[in-house]
Amino acid sequence: MKPVVVLDARITRRYSVGMRSYVRELARRVPQAAPDLKIVVIANTPLETEAELVRVGGANFGITEEAVVPLTARALKASLMHHCSIYAPYEPGVPFLMTIHDLIHLEFPQQFKPTILAYYRLFTRRHVARAQRVVTDDEATVEALERLLGAARARVAVIPLAVDDAMLELADHPQPDEAERLRSLGIGDRPYLFYAGNHRAHKNLTTLFEAWRELPCDLVITGSDDVPGGLGRYAHDGLRAIAAGEVDRALLAAIYRRAAVYVHPALAEGFGLPMVEAMAFGTPVVASARSIPEPLREAALAFPALDAQALRRQAERALNDDALRSDLRTRGMATARRLTWDRTAGATAALYRTVLEELSRR
């Protein structure tokens, strides 16, 4: 009889875009990567999966999370359960893994509500101590897990994330209306820097804006113009700062493709999917040293996070040095295509086997 592994694939409003992608891709691919295991997916939204699917309702912190999920795992006679985020039952009921993508809340506690910090203290620290493994996206987060939550290094598994297939398809096959869609945003023929992501304080966008003041190109960011004083305060020499608003996948692909440089200035990051997405389109990446995940480091230009002049210098190199641009393009595209979701799923399935073997010897 195959060991039963339950994948806790619930998606709630607290999940970022990247977290949602992670859950969906694991639900889709892990059953294919683990034919020797019986994968059962617990979900509260429709998911594409070959696994047995058990539908549950509810959100975080309620009766579903605290009672239904562990009771379901026990009823399925699960040998192991994988919680895909920090939101898990206080008593999971069976041996478990937990994915923690980053510890931004603990690294910058002043930027978040006290309730989320209390959750980390009361729930997440306890889960980290009891989990068979903690899964994270990059080596940089391992140090934070040890320092902030007392994780044992030997019990942390690093499994990088990837670009989704639909985005790779768009990278390889441009849509015929891309130029028109870009013009609708006011994006013309001038080169531009691009940033994709939220505008929280730890994303450090002020450093990007200060660096852009001395660069001969436009600037495009996703989301609304919610910058204090407005993006216009950083405008210079007739160049434009454009807030693109909410963008769908096809429009995002068009912006990546035309960008002269993708810039990611965050003070810290888990994996930073926009960086590897930009690389998939052959766009040079300039990013703060702490935000670049280990698999991308040889394909990006780094700068100290709070040093606007260092960011400017690296952006100038990426804009003006044709040989460097070509090298970054080649390295980035190769890296993006090496980091596949099938690879992520395969590594995750291999971790399940390792943990199940350990449990069988107890």
Rounded CA separation 62/66 (Å): 6
Is residue 107 predicted with pLDDT exceeding 90?
yes
Q: What pLDDT score was predicted for residue 60?
A: 86
Q: Are strands 241-243 and 261-264 parallel, antiparallel or unpaired?
A: unpaired
CA pair distance 309, 211, nearest whole angstrom: 6
The CA-based angle 185-190-192, given to 5 degrees, is 75
Tens digits of residue pLDDT in 291-302: 999 999 999 999
Query: Are the CB atoms for 186 and 240 separated by under 8 Å?
Result: yes
Mean pLDDT (the chain) is 95
Q: What is the pLDDT of residue 157?
A: 98
pLDDT score, position 271: 94
Q: Please report which confidence band the pLDDT of residue 94 belongs to, taking 50, 70 and 90 as the band edges.
A: very high
| Intervals of CATH 3.40.50.2000 along the chain | 4-162+341-360, 165-338
Please report how the helices 322-338 and 165-172 are oriented relative to each other, as an axis angle in degrees rounded to 10. 140
Share of the chain above pLDDT 90, in %: 93
Is the CB of residue 262 less than 8 Å from the CB of residue 300?
Answer: no
Residues with Cβ within 8 Å of residue 25, at least 6 apart in sequence: 162, 164, 341, 344, 345
State pLDDT tens for residues 191-233. 999 999 999 999 999 999 999 999 999 999 999 999 888 998 9
pTM: 0.94
The CATH class of 4-162+341-360 is alpha beta
Mean pLDDT throughout 112-121?
Answer: 92
pLDDT surpasses 90 at 57 = no
CATH, domain range 165-338: 3.40.50.2000
Statement: residue 362 has pLDDT above 90: no
309-344: pLDDT as tens digits: 999 999 999 999 999 999 999 999 999 999 999 999
Structural tokens at position 156: 């942390």
Instruction: Tell me: pLDDT of 244 over 90.
Output: yes
